[in-house]
Every structure is written in structure tokens, then in C-alpha cells.
Amino acid sequence: MAKLKKTFLKSHYKVRKKEKKNKTNITKLILVILTLDCLNIEVLAEIHMKEVKDLTNILILLRKEISQLELEQIDTDRQVRRI
């Protein structure tokens, strides 16, 4: 029985040690990728910012058109009621 406990403790220790190594390797890899892709991320951020501005401008124009159409609809409704 004593041998089983010792082997279990040793194997459990080895597993935990391997897990820690894998975690540190992954974090190091992520840091390397982030530093390498930092410029790419900045370029993509600028592209997306431009797209957002363009879409916002389109949305503003569409809202103006919708409000004009709503006013026209109200006017036609008033005319129909008069008849």
C-alpha cells in the first residue's frame, strides 16, 4: 500500500509539473504572437475605424431620408382624412 501512495504522489507531481510547463509555454507563445502581430493589429484597427466612420455617415443619411419619408406619410394621411 505504501508503494502505491508514493507512486501516486510522484505521478501526480509529474503531471502538475508538466501542466505548469505547458501553461508557461503557451503564455510565452501568446506574448510572442502578440508582439509580432502588434503592427498588424494597429493596421486592422485603422481599417476598421475607417469602415465604422463610413458606415456611420451612411446611417446618418439614411436616418434623414427616413425622417423625410415619415413626414411625407403624415402629410398624405392628413390629406386623405380631409377627403
- Residues 3, 30 within the same domain: yes
Q: What is the pLDDT of residue 53?
A: 93
pLDDT in tens, the chain (83 residues): 455 555 555 555 566 666 655 555 666 666 666 666 667 778 888 888 999 999 999 999 999 999 999 999 999 999 998 87
**Where in the sequence is the domain holding 71, given as residue range(s)?**
39-83
Does this model's pTM top 0.75? My answer is no
CA dihedral 72, 76, 81, 83 (to 10 degrees): 150
Within this chain, do residues 23 and 9 fall inside the same structural domain, yes or no?
yes
Residues 15 and 45 in one domain: no
What is the pLDDT at residue 45? 84
Say how far apart CA 5 and CA 1 lie, in whole Å: 7
Question: Long-range contacts: 8-16, Cβ < 8 Å, 24+?
Answer: none
